[in-house]
Amino acid sequence: MPEDLPQGLARGLTHYGDAGFALFLRRSFARSMGYSTGLLGQPTIGIASAASDLNNCHRHFPELIDSVKRGVLAAGGLPLAFPTISLGEVFLHPTSLMYRNLMAMDVEEMCRAQPLDAVVLVGGCDKTLPAQLMGAASARVPAIALVAGPMLTSRHEGERLGACTDCRRFWAKFRSSEVDRATIDRVETRLATTAGTCAVMGTASTMACVAEALGMLLPGTAAIPAVHADRLRAGEATGRAAVALAHSRLTMERIVTPAAVENALRVLLAIGGSTNAIIHLTAIAGRLGIPVSLTRLNELSDTTPVLVDLKPTGVHYMEDFFAAGGMSAVLHELKALLDLDCLTVTGERLSERLANPPEWVDRTIVRTLVAPFHPVGGLVALFGSLAPNGAILKRSAADPQLFERTGRAVVFASPDDLAARIDDPALEVTPEDFLVLQNAGPKSGYGMPESGYLPLPAKLARAGVKDMVRISDARMSGTAYGTIVLHVSPEAAVGGPLALVRLSVRERRIDLDVYAAELALRKTRWHPPALPSRGYQRLYAERVLLAEEGCDFDFLRQSQ
Ligand code: FES
Q: Give the H/E segment covering residue 104.
A: helix 96-113
- Phi, then psi, of 68 in degrees rounded to 5: -65, -45
Closest ligand 1 atom, residue 56 Cα? 1
Q: Give the other-Cβ count within 10 Å of 424's Cβ.
A: 12
Give the residue whose CA is nearest to atom 1 of ligand 1: 125
User: Tell me: the pLDDT tens digits for 199-224?
Assistant: 999 999 999 999 999 999 999 999 99
Structural domain that includes position 208? 42-152+194-353
Of 164, 188, 212, the residue that ends a domain is 188
Closest ligand 1 atom, residue 57 Cα? 1
Q: Which of 59, 89, 280 to mutate to test the pocket of ligand 1 (most atoms within 8 A of CB)?
A: 89
Closest ligand 1 atom, residue 55 Cα? 1
331 with 408, same domain?
Answer: no
Does 128 contact ligand 1 (Cβ within 6 A)? Answer: no
27 vs 514: CA distance, rounded Å: 70
Does 90 contact ligand 1 (Cβ within 6 A)? Answer: yes
158 with 148, same domain?
Answer: no
Please tell me the distance between residue 13's alpha carbon and the centre of ligand 1 in angstroms: 38
- Phi, then psi, of 31 in degrees rounded to 5: -65, -25
Please tell me the distance between residue 125's alpha carbon and the centre of ligand 1 in angstroms: 5
Lowest mean pLDDT among 163-167, 307-311, 445-449, 528-532: 528-532
3-state SS assignment for residue 323: helix
Give the residue whose CA is nearest to atom 2 of ligand 1: 198
Closest ligand 1 atom, residue 163 Cα? 2
211 vs 273: CA distance, rounded Å: 12
Q: Does 14 fall in a domain?
A: no
207 with 271, same domain?
Answer: yes
137 with 263, same domain?
Answer: yes
CA 321 to chain centre: 18
We report the CATH number of the domain holding residue 469 as: 3.50.30.80
Amino acid at 292: V
* Domain count across the chain: 3
Closest ligand 1 atom, residue 198 Cα? 2
Please tell me the distance between residue 382's alpha carbon and the centre of ligand 1 in angstroms: 28
378-408 burial: b if 16+ Cβ within 10 Å, else e? bbbbbbbebbebbbbbbbbbbeeebeeeebe
Question: Which of 98, 63, 332 lies closest to 194 in space, CA to CA?
Answer: 63
User: Tell me: the pLDDT tens digits for 408-429?
Assistant: 889 998 999 999 999 999 999 9
Is residue 473 over pLDDT 50? Answer: yes
Own/partner pairs for 59-63, CB < 8 Å, 24+ apart? Answer: 59/195, 60/148, 60/195, 60/196, 60/226, 60/227, 60/231, 61/122, 61/148, 63/232
User: Tell me: the pLDDT tens digits for 37-87?
Assistant: 999 999 999 999 999 999 999 999 999 999 999 999 999 999 999 999 999
160's CB contacts (< 8 A; 6+ apart) are 153, 154, 317
Q: Does 301 fall in a domain?
A: yes
